[in-house]
Amino acid sequence: MKFFESGDTREGAKLKVFYKKLLDQVPDVIFKMVWLKDDLYSITYASENVNDLYELTVEQILKDSDILFRERILPEDKEETIESLQHSKNTLTQWSIEYRVQLPVKGLRWLKVIAKPELQKEGTVHFYGRVTDITEQKNREEELNRSQQRYKFALQAASEGVWDWDMVSNIVHFSAQTMKMLGFEEKEADVPQSFWLDRIHPDDVTIREAAKHKGLRKSNTAYESIYRVRTEDGSYRWMLSRGKAVDFDDNGVATRSMGIHKDVTLLKEKEIELANTINIIGDQNNRLSNFAHIVSHNLRSHASNLSMVLNLIKEADEDEKEEMMHHLEAISDGLSITISHLKELVEIQFEVKTERQKLNLRYYLKNILTILHHEITKHGVTIEINIPLDVTVSYNPAYLESVLLNFTTNAIKYSNPKNKPMIVYDFELINGQKVLSISDNGLGIDLKKHRNSLFGMYKTFHKHQNARGIGLFITKNQVEAMGGKIEVSSEVNKGTTFKIYFNEEDQ
Amino acid sequence: MKKINNLYVIDDDKIYHFLFKNLLKQNKIDVNTTFFPNGYEAIEFIKNNRDSENLPELILLDVNIPIMNGWQFLEEYVKDRETLKRRSTIYMISSSNNEVDIKKSRDYQEIVKDYFLKPVCKEDLEKIFII
């Protein structure tokens, strides 16, 4: 590619004044370029705008077209420009190229050339074309690119996915990040809305619907809800979904909404853990308050009796002294019993005896009933056991014995004199948790009055000599130390049913 | 000083019953004392004898007693008070130094005169019986 000075500067002059005026007004540069057979080229016409686009005069270009390649086009873009020009000339296809020029005044600019080659008779090729300054457009493109990259990176860093829901066609666009959260390839996708809905945890459907319903109203700014979504490996992740309706039809009904997804599983799990911890602390607090109660009431009552005896004994006569000595013994016994209860309670709290074994429930129950054989025959109690032979629970043996013993002796102790006593042991699974129900037809407990204090320490509700009010309290603590719970239902003069839930992990 | 003829002590502690009797005796307080082991038996007895001259001038009530505790007894007593031939002055006497209990006794200002912590001593008796 070599420049030759065609000397034919009349191309411009040949133009009618009318056309020349028009061409000079176009913001683009209009040009004609001639190629001779021997790879010789020359620009034979350029409109006035070269002043603006190249900061060269028309004359400079016509006399020395090479100046464009020498002093204007950036060296980096030169080779590609020439190559595409040659290609276009050889194949006679449209020449279209974007390149950068370095101008003395305006500095770096982007130019775009579009030209059409035309083969002439003697083998020469004429290009007719125009050059446009596309710097502004290029800058905008660049800016858009940058902001898109920034946005993409920000989403990645924040591990947030974006969704865009066309509510008319019910197709949702999910960003790559959302697809990745669901366990798919990190690639954006357009899917029917059911793709997402089918993955929502059944327990969370309502809460999400409610939030969405509220959020899609025109007056609302945004909606937000947190729910579980099933991923490809079948596990659930907690998602924070925030969204906003952006388009509405004439009736104000949302037609398009957009928002983000954020995987908040770690946060949510911590939150749940914290809530559990708070429950445990609450329980501990209750036990502590019960403990304080025992100390306050029972130890104090022994201590005050002791102090009264000591005060009175000084002034008492011989017979009374003798009797007071007996009472001193009784106070001492009472104190020992209270202290042993305290010790038992402390042991449960500090989980001294929590090692577990796989225990056959029926076998343990039979053992307890053998121990209580005398009591059972004395009261003529009918026993009915509906526990499958092979049911086992992972429990502490001493606790299991104590729990069975306590509920059984209670059922016998508070039997209704009007009925023939009967105790029924039923086994069932409730939500996968093993549950033993112990039902009697005894006196029953007025739960309206006593529900809150039923399992408290030293609470008794019956006019009964042996009522001490310690059994249920200890039993409840043992069951809870094993990770389970107790439920009670009762009706006065009809009977009582205690449900013992064994620990949840034990499935 | 008003003469107190009849006294009810509502407390489940048998040893306390004995000790309290002795305390009265040693302080030379001569009063007809009836003991009830819980609130239920006491309120039933009072209801059944609402027209009797022998209803007590004074009731000493413990808080932590079985079946019907001190507060439940008071609730029932308040309901029936107007229909009784004689309205009693009530003192709470308990080993509970729980703030909640002590504050709660003030809710019954009208009928509960004071709250004494066990052990009951000579000075307490003087306050109670010199009305």
- Per-residue pLDDT of A421-478, as tens digits, reads 999 999 999 888 899 999 999 888 887 777 766 766 555 555 544 445 567 877 888 8
The answer to whether B72 and B64 are in contact (CB under 8 A) is: no
Q: Taking CB atoms and an 8 Å cutoff, what residues of chain A touch B123? A: none
Q: What is the pLDDT of residue A157?
A: 77
pLDDT at A207: 87
- DSSP assignment, residue A298? I
Mean pLDDT for chain A overall? 86
Q: For a pLDDT cut of 90, what percent of chain B falls above it?
A: 40
Is the Cβ–Cβ distance between A132 and A140 less than 8 Å?
no
Asked if B96 has any chain A CB less than 8 Å from its own CB, the reply is yes
Residue A7 has pLDDT above 80, yes or no: no
Q: Are A279 and A185 in contact (CB under 8 A)?
A: no
Query: Where would I find the beta strands (DSSP E) of chain B?
Result: 6-10, 32-36, 58-61, 89-94, 112-117
pTM score of the predicted model: 0.51
Nearest to A300 among B23, B40, B97 (CB): B97
CA distance readout (Å), B46 to A430, A498, B21: 48, 35, 21
* Closest to A260 in 3D by CA, of A157, A171, A172, A164: A164
pLDDT bracket for residue A507 (50, 70, 90): very low
Q: In what order do the strands lie in the sheet with A433-440?
A: A382-386, A422-430, A433-440, A495-501, A485-491
- Residue A228: pLDDT band (50, 70, 90) is very high
- Cβ–Cβ gap B15/A330 under 8 Å: yes
Taking the Cβ of residue B40 and every Cβ of chain A, the question of whether any pair is shorter than 8 Å is answered with yes
B98 shares contact with chain A (CB less than 8 Å)? yes
Assess whether pLDDT exceeds 90 at residue A56.
yes
Distance CA A102, CA B102 (A): 94
Over residues A359-387, the mean pLDDT reads 91
A57-60, long-range: CB within 8 Å, 24+ apart, which pairs?
A58/A12
Beta carbons of B111 and B74 less than 8 angstroms apart: yes
**pLDDT single digits (tens) B49-104:** 988 888 999 999 998 887 788 888 999 999 888 888 888 999 999 887 778 888 88
Which has more pLDDT, B8 or A217? B8
Between the alpha carbon of residue B91 and those of residues A162, A306, A314, the distances in Å are: 72, 22, 27
A496, A444 in Cβ contact below 8 A? yes
Tell me, yes or no, if B44 comes closer than 8 A to chain A by beta carbon: no
Instruction: Output the pLDDT for position A468.
Output: 52
The stretch A300-311 carries a mean pLDDT of: 87
A249 or A13: which leads in pLDDT: A249
| pLDDT attached to residue A506 | 46
Q: Does A297 touch chain B (CB under 8 A)?
A: yes
Q: Are A450 and A467 in contact (CB under 8 A)?
A: no
Give A377's DSSP letter: H
Interface of B with A in 52-81 (CB under 8 A): 64, 66-67, 72
pLDDT at A17 over 60: yes
Percentage of chain A with pLDDT > 90? 37
What interface predicted TM-score (ipTM) does this complex get? Answer: 0.83
Contact A467 B66 (CB under 8 A): yes
The residue-averaged pLDDT of A288-298 equals 70
pLDDT given for residue A250 in this prediction: 87
